[in-house]
Amino acid sequence: MTEAMDGDLVRRLAAASRDFDATGADPERNCWLAVHRHVHGVLPSEYDIREVPEDLYLAVLEARRALA
């Protein structure tokens, strides 16, 4: 597991993704928002097209689904 894929980080981001559930119960979107905020330091703007590491996003999504 790479530094970016640290298990603790993945679990923290999966938990952080739940912060966005009030704005829409879409786990894929909310995990992406949590990873985006972690990687870029801010939430995306409406037209933000900066990418996030796909492997980290998928690990966070998998961890969130495992916690559900």
Distances (CA, A) of 17 to 12, 22, 43: 9, 11, 12
Break the chain into its structural domains and give their ranges.
3-67
Q: Where are the alpha helices (DSSP H) in the chain?
A: 7-17, 27-40, 54-67
Q: For 13-39, what is the mean pLDDT? A: 95
pTM for the predicted model, two decimal places: 0.88
Closest CA to 50 of 41, 59, 62: 41
Q: What six digits make up the tokens of 15? A: 């938990």
pLDDT grade for 2, boundaries at 50, 70 and 90: low
Q: According to the model, what pLDDT value does residue 49 have?
A: 84
